[in-house]
Amino acid sequence: MNLSEAKVGQSYIIEKLELSEDKKRRILDLGFTKGTKLKVINLKNNGPMIICARGTRLAMGREFSLGIMVQESGF
């Protein structure tokens, strides 16, 4: 599933990135690599989502979240 389908309060692990090269580079620079654990804090229908990863909260637009494939985590 992609990150845009995630539920608030759930934890996930990044499986792979399916983004254009410039978007992928930006996400990788932020430390979002395969295996990164994250938690969805808030989610707006058509707005940005707030996630917490590596102890930092980040607002992420829909175009980025559609290309981040995740799996549920139990942490």
Residue 25 CB coordination number (10 Å): 10
Q: Rounded CA gap, 47 and 33, in Å? A: 23
Q: Supply 60's token pair.
A: 């992420």
Kindly report the CATH number assigned to the domain that includes residue 50.
Answer: 2.30.30.90
Q: Decide if pLDDT at 73 tops 90.
A: no
User: How confident is the model at residue 44, as a pLDDT?
Assistant: 79
* Cα–Cα distance, 65 to 58 (Å, whole number): 12
Is the predicted pLDDT of residue 71 greater than 80, yes or no?
yes
Q: Identify the pLDDT of residue 50.
A: 94
What pTM does this model have? 0.85
Q: What is the pLDDT of residues 7-22, one digit of tens each?
A: 999 999 999 999 999 9
CB 67 within 8 A of CB 45: no
For 25, the 3-state DSSP assignment is helix
Expressed as residue numbers, the domain containing 46 is 3-73
| Domains contained in the chain, number | 1
75 pLDDT higher than 80: no
